[in-house]
Structure 1
Amino acid sequence: MLTIKEIEEIIPHRHPFLLIDRVEELEPGVKAIGYKSITYNEPYFLGHFPEEPVMPGVLQIEALAQTGAVAILSKKENKGKTAYFGGINQARFKRKVVPGDTLKLDCQIVKQKGSIGVGRAVATVDGEIAVSAELTFVVG
């Protein structure tokens, strides 16, 4: 299991934009499974939405992308590099993510050629799909 400090050694994201609390499973270049505990104190809840706090869908996608970045950047040849978005395809939002939820983030790297690759990503809460997407990345 990777802690926040160990995650920070792999990806450049920092608080408040680091959206992974821990990584439970890691196979460098192949897959990563991480978690984000959603608390009422998240900065985005001040405006999204004050009467009904909901984690923005784009941040759910970002959390999945960061999980995929841990998988791809943990390969020796990618140490110290950054993974950038190249595209988001087939994104589907199935349920709201709210304070008290724990988001399970699963990203499988399904294709890579050179510096460009694709991850298949799914975030769940208590086994229920919150969001799924195909994420294209560029390592630079």
Structure 2
Amino acid sequence: MTAPRMRFVQHAPDVYEATLALTQAAKKDLDPVLVELVLLRASQVNHCAFCIDMHAKDARKAGESEQRLDLLPAWEEAGAVYTEKERAALALTEAVTVLTDGFVPDEVYERAAAQFSEPELARLVSLIATINVWNRINVAFRTPVGNMR
């Protein structure tokens, strides 16, 4: 395991607080379990161990089952384990997180737009963008797993 590079919150507390506020605003009016699935899946894609650990724990606290957490990396093959709304959110999460795979395809966006109201969709995309910020900060500074804020 590599050593942490710095404690981000100590050196940029204003950026930390602004990013935290954006995260809280993005979560507003979204289902807490769906939020944690999205945060966890983006963190898995980005290989952010700190965020994977934190959001798996938060998902359990929100009532998520072990089976659904275990199957999240293979959500597309898991069928009815996830609702159509969750699958649409997870597809959008992956498309927004991995922009180098051809940006966000129309069919992925349209699938999500069919499941979420425009205000929900705006918050969902904001949530996905925000977790990508957190992932990049924590990966860049090698935030240790379990080092909660």
Q: Does TM-score exceed 0.5, indicating one fold?
A: no
Structure number with the higher helix fraction is 2
Q: If each structure's strand is expressed as a fraction of its own residues, which one has the higher value?
A: 1
Question: What TM-score do you get using the length of structure 1 for normalisation?
Answer: 0.31
Ranked by relative contact order (alpha carbons within 8 Å, sequence separation 6 or more), the top structure is: 2
Name which one, 1 or 2, has greater alpha-carbon Rg.
2
TM-score (norm 2): 0.30
